[in-house]
Structure 1
Amino acid sequence: MLYISHDYVTCVLDEIALEGLDGITLQGLWTRLSERPGLCVTSDNCFKSYIWNLIKRLKDVEMYELKEPRKDLVLFNRFLYVDPELGTVIDREEELEDIYPFSPVEDLSSGNRGSCTAYNVRQNVTEAAKKVTLEEAISRNPIQCLFLQWGNKLVFVANQKTRNNALQGDNIDPVMELTLIQYCVLERIGRSRYHGEVTIGRCSLQQIGIDAKSLFYIRKYLIDHKLITKQIFHLKSGLQNSSGSLLHITRYFVLRRPKALILTQKVVEILKSRPGHYAEYEEIRQILGLYYSLKKLMKTIEFQRLIKTDLKLPYRTVYPEAKPGEWRLKGVDKEKMVRVIQLINPDVDVEELWSKEEDEEDDSSNGSVLRLFHI
């Protein structure tokens, strides 16, 4: 069977390079390729053998044997776990096991840098691996394969230049220099691909063990040099919501607006179109279809910064053409009061405000823009 509809060489090399100095197992590579957008991947042995033979011809990739098999790569898409009302990502109750522990390496003799716990103990088996079939390489049966039972002990590692290009692209500032820690953080963000890396929660950059203030300045440097992008990220943990940042390397950027921000922007646009820039609470709830969760939306810090929520106005102020039977309280010669919400600044540009907020991340002790509120 011929596989000519895609540039598999580029795709395979890119996936290996993005995994960093730690490298990637065959199992991990199948997983990454199957998730790569626009790539036709099949699970048959013919296709896998094709990829294996392709890898053996790659001059920019070396193969190593780990002392212990690496656990299977399991991709985690946090955006599949969201609060059904406001779409806020829900934090995991337990941390996912990190199969790539943070362990910076700077090898001046070879020019290698990145994070790799097994760097000094893994064995280069490139020449031996190129002589075997896929079945021999992945065999775990000592009877079938006495000395080549690699399985998940076999990893592919792209050379430093290829890994740099995968993370930084071709438009690299020639005078820009990254420290080892800056590079390792960039490597970790790149490994996350389209899912991105976040600054808060159990499965986040907090796992690497760098203090929050240092991590803030590392991210700021990478953002200033356009190596990564940043956008607002909301996380719900129990009854508490917090805000931080979602990070991607530039070429893997995906715009993700929290549902709460989208709804807030919609309310702002509605209020901008109204005389006096206010509307009845019940009307807004019906327009948005938030019959139970508008109260939650109103408690978010983004909503409170833009909209007053504690106002009551005379009925005829809101509905000037109301008839006496509509505005007058029954049995009392008094006017009904209507609960309304009102735009604080009619000239506000929501997109500009949020962009500014993303650029003014607070370097406080938590290392991210944490705005806590209870719902």
Structure 2
Amino acid sequence: MFFSDDLELNATLTGLETLSADQLARIVSPSSIVQPVSVSSRNRHGSADMGASVAGAGAFSYQGLVGESPEMMKLKSLLLKIAPTDTTILLQGESGTGKEVIARAIHHHSPRQKEVFVPVDCAAISENIIESELFGHIKGAFTGADRTTTGLIRSADRGTLFLDEVAELSLPLQAKLLRTLQERAVKPVGDIRLHPVDIRIVAATNINLAESVRKGQFRQDLYYRLNAITIHASPLRERTQDIPALCDHFMRQLTGEGYPEKRISASAMDVLCAYEWPGNIRELENVIRRAITLTSGMVIGAEILNIDQFSFDEPDHEAAEYPASVAFHEREAIRKALKRTRGNRRAAAELLDISEATLYRRLKVYSL
């Protein structure tokens, strides 16, 4: 997904303080659990004084968590504290900010690390089959159900279930998910039995769930259940000092995939660091991939990047209506993607790296 909040890493760990020692040690299921810890980083260029909040951050490593900015160091410090627990975690942030990477890092450092991590894109599964996909079904439950299926939730048993774009679930499915979390059991479609399940839940969304609750679009009880610890993933524009390290990471990764080895010129790096990155880390990766492909020599120059069409230099007429918020930046990214693709919605969805269904929903929300 491609939109992200302030990555303010001011963690509220009250949920952890209430856990007993054996609860903290307990092994749950393989899917990064979502828990409300507020992570926020507003200083774009970082600060030398991070204090005790980043103590031990160097001990937390995961291949996708790249950077040494204050935001990233605070995030690593927070993950070091919450990963060993079974607390449910809610990841909030713009699409493309690396929420799934964070979820995988949590799983990797949890007692469930040897069990499965099951990612579920709630926005990508058709509404008429998502209940069966999540909860499973028994043979004969509906037309075409010629065999019994386990479902994604039970497939994550003893591991971590990552529910990406959880806000896209319908209200009836939210109610069924809540019951599953409360009873620690799954009721497949057409079945009268409950099947015990041991999972850790990590949920993610690129919208403000609290606002969705106020609008009646998301169940309040499920929100509180998921909101034990909330982590806000910072947009790339707020941690630009990590861009050189991210570029190096992506270039080494692509070289390992068979792409030719290149280096980025100083002028090109200046352009990359000055850009606003509405598509965040995912957009940066795509730009690097394209630049390596199109550069004939060994050095990637600024002229090959071709990212100025997506800059934030044009006036923001809707700024008053959409103040510096995830919704505003998400709307801007969609508007500019449509402009860049001349109104081609399929191409815009591909550019933003989201499904067409998600794009259509966002177009309705923002009246675009």
Q: TM-score, normalised by structure 1?
A: 0.23
> What TM-score do you get using the length of structure 2 for normalisation?
0.24
Structure (1/2) with the larger strand percentage: 1
**Which structure carries more relative contact order (alpha carbon 8 Å, separation 6+)?**
2
Larger Rg computed on CA atoms: 1
More helix by share: 2
